[in-house]
Structure formats: structure tokens, C-alpha cells
Amino acid sequence: MTRAVTPKIPEPPLGDTSPEALAAEILSALKYRLGKDATVATDYDWLTASIKVVRDRIVDEWISSTKEAYDQSAKRVYYLSLEFLIGRLMRDAFSNLGLMDAMRQALASLGVEFDVIARLEPDAALGNGGLGRLAACFMESMATVDIPAHGYGIRYANGMFRQEIHDGWQVELPETWLEHGNPWEFERRERAFEVGFGGSVESITAPDGRLERHVWKPTDRVLAVAYDTPVVGWRGARVNTLRLWSGMPLDPILLDRFNAGDHIGALAESNKADALSRVLYPADSHKEGQELRLRQEYFFSTASLQDILQRHISKYGDLISLPDKAAIHLNDTHPAVAVPELMRLLMDVHGMDFDTSWDITRRTFAYTNHTLLPEALESWPVPLFERLLPRHMQIVYAINAEVLLEARATGRFNGEQISRISLIQENGERRVRMGNLAFAGSHSVNGVSALHTELMKETVFADLHSLYPDRINNKTNGITPRRWLIQCNPGLTGLAREAIGDRFLDDIEAIRELDGFAGDAAFRDKFAAVKRANKVRLSNLVAERLGIKVDPSALFDIQIKRIHEYKRQLLNIIEAVALYDQIRSHPEREWMPRVKFFGGKAAPSYHNAKLIIKLANDVARVINSDPSVRGLLKVVFVPNYNVSVAEILMPAADLSEQISTAGMEASGTGNMKFALNGALTIGTLDGANVEIKEHVGDDNIFIFGLTTEEVAQRRNSSYQPAAVIDGSPELKQAVAAISSGVFSPDDPARYRELMDGLYQHDWFMVAADFDSYAAAQRQVDTVWRDSPDWYARAIRNVARVGWFSSDRTIRQYAKEIWNVPA
Ligand code: 26V
């Protein structure tokens, strides 16, 4: 007799998602994973248990996403980035899986408030700014548009520093985000690769005297161990992997000796393995040429490549098909050493010849450039490169010979041009140019906005572009609408759903349908109410944390980004000072109340950036406490700007400050986040502002200042800032006030040099753009006064910037660079 087998009913991918079931699982996680019960659980325990419950649900889809890609022999994308500025993951994962409401209820039934534990989750701040945040948006979008992708980076024990403001000055403190463990990650002890440094290269010759191959014999060796974090796409579409490497000594007994180190410089000289993954270099577009940085770059590049090659070989047997099955993306030049490393692995380990290896390498890599600032273009002194990576130095020379041969063969380049194409900078100290190396080793080189891409062709890469005219292409940046609208602005999301339905949740460009509501008075009122609620939330936070009272009905004018002279926070502060002066000298005029918010970190070694932070705080103190201002102007510096702080500031903004010197901001992505949340932009024709203007329309953005060409012209034709300053009474007055110590009575000379810099060279054209900026600000006031008109413009901004979604950007990368379906 045969027994009837009850067919197994397949579980829905997420299992039972009722609040009751989730509550039971949370209790069980608390008990069996943390060894606690509800009576003794701390808020951190509830957080950890909740994450574990949701992570469990993710694992099935994760395994199946990975397996499916394997079974279908799908081409995979490998995104190599030294930075992933992720922020918190809980809201992201819960919301993308559609578990937000159920988890909220489940926790409430256990007496736990979701928002309270959500605030305890530390930000994963493994990045400095735009470049790192872009990598995080890309990871989420790749999972959303269903691309099998792996991010590769470093699991820094200390990510971006925590900024405190002491007496107006930035103080940097280490951020220990792993203090309470990281419930998202899976440690993969077995996924470990050896990484070598230093030593020498041996040439092996065949019996007939022919050179057979090179063998690198490194002296220092460490292990790179993988830690995996699942990345969930929208509606759980796919779960990809972010694999971060951690340094470990080859010999585990050494571990005890590793706990003492503290300072980057001291650690760099030692061969302590965990130094490699201890700190993120806290510099953004600012030179920090340290040996440890190059070690970090090689460490994560080789570990990632070894991992990729091992996966490829286990599936396909050999490496000839690598370019058909793997697209390896270099996020800036930080992983550019992967180019000679792949060459080394192909030639020295897998026995291929140079030509085949070079062909495979170039067809596999693609490179994105994120900045044209000369001081941020990476290059390494040849002696350092040679000492740490002697075999790679040889390979770089060999690649260079190949490239220069090709260039000379065209007969189109003179000596000067050839020297600019060279991977080695020869004048002065000899250095390896990482940009040229990445360019030469890739089949695609892209910029991050239309303007930036054109400037790449005309400036840094002009000669390489002439040699390889098909290589440079544009991929305008984007942001993930899940984090930057749906999660951070539930009020606006709800309002949009009411008005146009849910389609925009899956296809953000459908938010365009809101455009028709700009003329609808009832909708505008609701929109204004949502904005106000977001401003109230920010006001409460500022009152609580900084003791500053701001009026939510004032115009919220916000500039948040890394502090850098080219981003021109100084222009904004000087305008605040000028406005302060105007308000006091013309009390009869009808001033529109405004709050100027600033936020951002300065590189610890960047003197002027730190001074600008102090100035913002000094100006804030004076203006905020002056009764003659009658509350019409307030200045607030929000400390420790990070992803989570941005999530509160973006939805509360009326005005977005994007005021970099034209030609200097590669793209900007904050500009997109603000517009999507209903702020109007005041900005220069720089980076993606140009394209934002095209999308929102000239009437819905405030453009001012010199164009890129005009900046270049001025710089070339003896720009005289002193004459400009003397010719602008408002500017002159403001500069004089700052310079003479009005805002720094305790140290009147504090800003003398900073202001003298404006008089003497003003490289960033603060003076040249001041009058135009101030006029644009008064235009802002005029529009703000007509509130219905303002909100109509704000609604049009929301409706028209769906294109700046990282889903769109990623689809373009997929189609035009990686050749993968999306
Ligand atoms: C450079 C350096 C050089 C010294 C060591 C540390 C370090 C770290 C990062 C960088 C590169 C900074 C480049 C960067 O973040 N660029 C930004 O990229 C954004 C995304 O494409 C873009 O929106 C911003 O305009 C651009 O400034």
C-alpha cells in the first residue's frame, strides 16, 4: 500500500507576516539569540531581536537571488568602492519588505515603540560624502531593478568621525558603530584571502632561457575576511550582497598585540593587520597621501578580485569568459590598483600572456570619475608604490609602454601631450597617476553629470579622450526614492498616494502626475501642511539639542554637505551677515523671516574648512542673540551631519543651497534629495543643477552667478577681487565686519586671513558671485511672500525630478556600460 504524501505547501517568501507571528518571533529571538526575556530586555536588545527577525526573512530570498543568478549563468556586477555611506538599515529593510506596519504593531503589542528603538541603530557611516552615499543608493537600486550585484568595500571599525561642536569649533571623535555588534552582518571566516605587501619579484626562466613568469614574494602578509550584509530591493525584489573586508593577522595568536594602536601615522608603519580596516580616511577631495591609504586600496582590491575570480572559475572553469560574466566597476580611482592586480593574477597566477590579460582586463573594468579638483586626483609616489607593490609597479610600466606606443603610433600627439597621457607623472617627483591608470584599464569612463562629463573631456582627460574618443560617457547621478522620499517623508508620500495613487512607489517618474496639482489650492494647502509638520519636527529637534528656538513658519534655507571652499558655505555666511546688516539698518522694510541652517563635516586637516564652521557658529551666536533682528533671521549650525540627520533636514527644507563655484561640483546629489522633498533650489549652473533646471523649468529654480566658462575667463584674465569687493557696498561691509572681529570679539583677528584671501585671490569667486547671489536671495523672498505661488513651484519640483532616481541611473549603467539586463 502506498501512503499518500501530503504535498508541502510552499511558504510565501516572507512566511507569516501578521503582527502576532512577528511578535512571537521577536520574543523567540530575544530568548534564543540574546538569552533574555522581555522583562530584562534593554532597548538595544529589542532592536537586535527585531533586526534578526527581519533578517531571517531576508535570508531565503537572498539565497535564492544568489542561486538564481548562478543557475542562469547571469552576468554579475561587482561594485568596488572604498566608501559605502549607508546610514541606518532598519527602516530601509522593513519598508522595502513591506513589513513596516506589521513590525510597528508587533513591537507595540510587546510594549516597545518602534521609533524609540529605531533611533538607537547606529549609522553605518563608511563614507565621507557624495561618493559614498551614491554607492549606497546604487546598491539599493541594483537590488530593486533586479541586477545580480555585489558591493565590495572595507568594514572600517571606525567610520566617519563623530563631529561635536565645542565653543563653535569642530571636534572629531571616533565613531564606534560596532560597539553593540552589527546584527545585519554575517561573518564569513571561511571566505578569507591572503594579501601581500612589499618584498621582491623573482623571474622564473625556462630551460631555454626564456622568461617564463614572475613570482612576487611579499614580506608582509595578512588575511582579508569577508563580512556580508544583505541589501534588499524595493518590495524585496532581490537581495544582493555588500561584502566588506576586515583585516586579520595570518597568525591568530598575534591578535592580542593588535589592540593598542590609535593613530593613523603610527599604525601605517606597523604591519598590524587590523590597521587596514580600522579607519576610514576622513578626507574628501583633500590630499591625504598616506601609505596606509594605498595599503587599504590594495587590500580590498585584491581580496575582491580573488573572490570574483574564484567564483568565476568554480562556475566556468577558466578566466577567458570573465568579461562576459563579470562587470567590475571602479568607484573613483580608489580601487584603480585592481587594474594591475587583475593583470598580475591573470599572468602570474593563471599563466596568461600580457596581451590576453590586457584584453580581458579592459573588457572587464569600467571607471567612474567623481571630481576634477586637482588636489583630489590620486597619485602615488613611485618609490612608495614600488616598495609596497613591486610587481604592480612593473605591470604599470608595461601597461604604460603599451598605451604610449599606441599614442605615438597615431602620430597625433606631441611630447607634451604624450607626457600627459603617461601613467607616470615625470616632472618633479615621479608619481603613478591613478586616474590615467583607471582610464587606460577600462572600456568605459564616465562622469556623473552632463557638465562634469564634458569638462572631463576638456580638462583632465583631454589627451586620453583624444586617444580613446569612445570611452568617456555620461551617467548623471541619482538617488534612491525609497530612502529619500518614501522613508524620510511619509507625510509627502501619503499625500502623493492620495492624489495620484500608488504607481509612483514602483516607478518614481510617475510622480510627474503631481504636476497638475500645482494649481489646485486645496492640494497646495495640504502640501504646505505636510511641509510645516516636517519643519515642526526639525524645530523641535533644534530646540531640544541646541536650545535654539526657530519659527516653523519662517523660510527654512538649508545648506548641508561636506564643508569645502568650493562648495562656498562662506558665500552663504557672508550673505547672512549682509542680510543681518540690512535688517538692522532698514527696520521699516518688510523682511521675510528666515532660518539659515548649516550642517557638514570638515576634513580634520583642512584648516579653512574648520574655520568656516567656527565662523558659522560665531555668526549664529551674534545674530540669534541680537534683539534688533526681531527673530527675522536665525542661523543654526546642526552638528554631526550624517545620513540620519539628512533624513530629517531634507523634508523640512524650503530652500536648497547648491552654490558651488561653477565647474567644481561634479554633480551633487543633495540637490536632488531636496527637490524631491519639495524645496526650491538656489544654485549656480554647476554639476547636476544644470539638468535639474532643465527638468523643473526656469521658473521653479533660482539660478545665479558666473558660468563655468565665465569662471575660467575671469581666472585667466587677472580677476581683481579687491575691486569687486570695493564696488559692492553690502559685500564690503560684511567682509569688513567679519574681518574686524565683530563676530569674534574674543579673538578679533580670527577671520582676518580668511577675509584677506577673498581680497587677494578669491579662487572660488565668492566676491565675483556675491551680488548676483544676494539678488537671487531677494528674489526668493519675493516669491516666498506669495505663498500659493511658492508651493505651486515646490510641487512642480517634486513632480519633475523623478528622473533623478538612481533606478534610472543604474539602468543606464546596466545597458550602456555593464551590458546586463535590468
Ligand atoms: C578623494 C579623496 C582624496 C584623499 C583621500 C580621501 C579621499 C576621499 C574621497 C575623495 C573623492 C571625493 C570625491 C567625491 O566625493 N565626489 C563627489 O561625488 C559625488 C557622487 O558622484 C558627486 O555628487 C559630488 O559632486 C562629488 O563632489
Look at residue 553 and tell me if it is in a domain: yes
Beta strands in 45-133 (DSSP E): 76-80, 84-87, 124-126
Q: Which helix (H) or strand (E) holds 495?
A: helix 490-500
Residue 390 covered by a domain: no
| Active site annotation includes 453 | no
Task: Give residue 193 CA to ligand 1 midpoint distance, Å.
Answer: 28
Q: Is the pLDDT confidence value at 701 over 80?
A: yes
Q: How far apart are CA 590 and CA 583, in angstroms?
A: 9
- Number of folded domains in the chain? 1
pLDDT (mean) for 244-272? 59
Mean pLDDT of 473-502: 98
Rounded to whole angstroms, the Cα distance separating 776 from 781 reads 9
The predicted-structure confidence for 397-406, as pLDDT tens digits, reads as follows 999 999 999 9
Identify the pLDDT of residue 15.
82
Pull the grid cell for residue 612: 568656516
**Residue 191 falls inside a structural domain:** no
Residue 7 lies in a domain: no
Taking the C-alpha atoms of residue 19 and residue 21, their distance in angstroms, rounded to an integer, is 6
Query: Is 562 a known active-site residue?
Result: yes
Asked whether residue 696 carries a pLDDT value surpassing 60, the answer given is yes
CA distance 491 to 650: 13
pLDDT score for 286 = 60
pLDDT of residue 58 exceeding 80: yes
> Which CATH number fits the domain that encloses residue 699?
3.40.50.2000
Task: Render pLDDT for 640-688 as a digit per residue (tens, 0 to 9).
Answer: 999 999 999 999 999 999 999 999 999 999 999 999 999 999 999 999 9
Is pLDDT of 263 > 60?
A: no
Which among 31, 810, 76, 232 is positioned nearest to 479, based on CA atoms? 810
The answer to whether 329 is a known catalytic residue is no
315 catalytic per annotation: no
Residues 754-805 pLDDT 10s: 999 999 999 999 999 999 999 999 999 999 999 999 999 999 999 999 999 9
Q: Which domain holds residue 640?
A: 497-804
Q: What is the mean pLDDT of the chain?
A: 95
568 tagged catalytic: no
Nearest CA to ligand 1 atom 9: 284
pLDDT computed for residue 14 by the predictor: 72
List, chain by chain if needed, residues with CB within 6 Å of any ligand 1 atom. 128-131, 134, 281, 283-288, 332, 370-371, 376, 448, 477, 665-669, 687
Model confidence pLDDT, tens digit, residues 599-623: 999 999 999 999 999 999 999 999 9
Query: 390-410 and 354-364 helices cross at what angle (nearest 10)?
Result: 90
**Bridge partner list, 246:** 225
pTM value > 0.75: yes
Ligand 1 center to 56 CA (angstroms): 35
512 located within any domain: yes
Catalytic residue (choose from 286, 562, 594, 796): 562
d(C-alpha 646, C-alpha 538), whole Å: 11
Q: Is residue 729 part of a domain?
A: yes
**665 CA to middle of ligand 1, Å?**
10
Ligand 1 atom 15: residue of nearest CA: 131
Residue in 561, 695, 750, 796 annotated catalytic:
561
| CA 753 to each of CA 167, 482, 742: distance values in angstroms, whole numbers, following the listed order | 20, 44, 15
Cα-Cα-Cα-Cα torsion 442, 444, 445, 450, nearest 10 degrees, comes to 180
Task: Give tens-digit pLDDT for 360-388.
Answer: 999 999 999 999 998 889 999 999 999 99
- The pLDDT assigned to 2 comes to 42
Tell me the average pLDDT across 406-419: 98
- Residue in 134, 264, 285, 434 to alter for ligand 1 test, most ligand atoms within 8 A of Cβ: 285
Q: Is residue 184 part of a domain?
A: no
- The pLDDT confidence band at residue 237, using thresholds 50, 70 and 90, is confident
Q: If you measure from the C-alpha of residue 706 to the centroid of ligand 1, how many angstroms do you get, rounded to a whole number?
A: 23
* Of the candidates 421, 420, 334, 344, the residue with the CA atom closest to the CA atom of residue 380: 334
Residue 162 included in any domain: no
